[in-house]
Amino acid sequence: MKKTVLLYNFDSEEQAKAKRTLLPLHFAVKNVENEEMLLSVGYLAGLTDSEEKRDYSGDSFGKMLVMGGFLGSDIDKLLAAMRKAGFGRDVLKAVITPTNSAWCGGELYSEIYKDHIQMSKK
């Protein structure tokens, strides 16, 4: 399975920096364009064939990095590389699971943002 990183709401400079950081690790990097925002994260990462758009009417959201096809050691490598490249905690990170693979980026962001807030309180 191809290891794919989806970038949501990264500006062009951040996209280039992320690609320079992640391509040497043999991770495919895909910037999610505005017209793709309603497609499922599983589809965008190449994990599912369903191109059906979601009906998301929530708020716009911030930067998010989504990992598809990753194992534990891959996640560790990605996090270390992103930290070394200067990407901070303002980028929310998620791994595609069987539960969230059908969600669009906005749905996923909303869920992990709630978790982020809870973890920040501890």
φ, ψ of residue 64 to 5 degrees: the values are: -145, 140
How many separate helices (H) and strands (E) can be counted in the chain? 4, 4
pLDDT of residue 118: 86
For residue 72, the Cα-to-chain-centroid distance in whole angstroms is: 16
For residues 19 and 22, what is the distance between their CA atoms, to the nearest angstrom? 5
Q: What is the pLDDT along the chain (122 residues), one digit of tens a residue?
A: 689 999 999 999 999 999 999 999 999 999 999 999 999 999 999 999 888 888 888 888 999 999 999 988 999 999 999 999 999 888 999 999 999 999 999 999 999 999 888 888 86
For residues 64 and 43, what is the distance between their CA atoms, to the nearest angstrom? 16
Q: Where are the domains of the chain?
A: 4-121
Q: Bridge partners of 64?
A: 8, 92
Q: Is 84 helix (H, G, I), strand (E, B) or coil?
A: helix
